[in-house]
Structure 1
Amino acid sequence: MRNMRAGIEHLGILSGVFNQYRIFYGEDNDLVRCREFLRERLEKDESVIFLAVEEGDDALEVLGFTQLYPIFSSVSLKRHWLLNDLFVTEKARRRGIGAGLLNSARQLAEKTGAKGLTLETGHDNENAQKLYEKFGFKKHTEFHYTYKL
């Protein structure tokens, strides 16, 4: 198993696991829209995606991914990364893949001189919360507002 940064050439193998991720969160199965969405992010260089992959006989198998979006802090005058998506396929869970993907995200933040990483997770997603806290993420209680359209 290894982690790698996804490029447009990985669109085929990435789209399937991205679709699984969306289904996990209650969205409709829509591989075509997933592929279009990811293609746009990659072509416009609007996100960074890391894949956890395993070498198969004929191809790479995606075990999980994380997608990060750049945001900026006006106060610190630095880049910040929004860790928007982190997903490990059901069959690959409990193998340290999520931790490996978090390491890739942290390395990206360090390499780009970012202020830090921000993420959100469900209040009931206790397994993810434990992993994030193990990596040094702190619950933000000072600033929390969301406006949904």
Structure 2
Amino acid sequence: MISFGTLDNLPDLVGLFDKYRIFYKKDSDLKGAEQFLSERIKNQESVIYIYYDKNIAVGFTQLYPTYSSARMVKNWILNDLFVLEEYRKTGVATQLINKVIEFAKSNDANFVQLETQVDNFVAQKLYQHLGFELQEPDKEFLLYKKFI
């Protein structure tokens, strides 16, 4: 069962989010995770879905909006996707991503974008199977970042 992330199920989400961050080699920080997620939810800055198996939270995804002034559209970045290791390759990630696509379509988005590590071949195969297309570098615009 997939549920929308709210303050009511924040405790379930915090544990998953902490494990997600640990997967990406960050230190565990349950208090920081709770604060970060509660701010996203309270300020309506992200959309979160949680997958439950028999009332146990086993996966989640978090989306952030992105806008194009020139195109006058709102699209979504699938920023976070995590499934507990023992539930991987069971269809949980597929169901979460399909929920994201359904949500984006219902909100008139033109696309959902995501990034994954270059060596995460399992994820790449899943994304391609679900219709995501690997993009070539943009030929019209260059992306610059200044880290501060």
TM-score (norm 1): 0.92
Moved over 4 A (4+): none
Residue 134 in structure 1 maps to residue 133 in structure 2: no
Residue 34 in structure 1 maps to residue 58 in structure 2: no
Q: 1:42 to 1:129 in 2, by over 3 A?
A: same
Query: Which amino acid in structure 2 is aligned with residue 38 of structure 1?
Result: L
Q: 1:27 to 1:120 in 2, by over 3 A?
A: same
- Quote the offset at 1:146 in angstroms: 5.6
- Give the secondary-structure state (helix, strand or coil) at the position aligned to 2:9: helix
Please name the residue that 1:61 is paired with: 56
- Give the secondary-structure state (helix, strand or coil) at the position aligned to 1:131: helix
Aligned residue among 95, 104, 110 for 1:115: 110
* Alpha-carbon distance between aligned partners in 2 of 1:124 and 1:112, rounded to the nearest angstrom: 32
Query: Which amino acid in structure 2 is aligned with residue 109 of structure 1?
Result: A
Q: 1:12 to 1:146 in 2, by over 3 A?
A: farther
- CA distances 1:75-126 after superposition (whole Å, capped 9, x unpaired): 3211100000001001111100000000010011111001110100000000
CA-based RMSD: 1.2
- Greater Cα shift, 97-106 or 2-11: 2-11
* Alpha-carbon distance between aligned partners in 1 of 2:136 and 2:15, rounded to the nearest angstrom: 35
Q: Which runs of 5+ in 2 are unaligned?
A: none
Equivalent residues, number: 144
Please name the residue that 1:82 is paired with: 77
Q: Which runs of 5+ in 1 are unaligned?
A: none
Q: 1:148 to 1:52 in 2, by over 3 A?
A: farther
- CA distances 1:31-69 after superposition (whole Å, capped 9, x unpaired): 0000000000000000000011022xxxx2111000000
Please name the residue that 1:73 is paired with: 68
Q: 1:146 to 1:9 in 2, by over 3 A?
A: farther
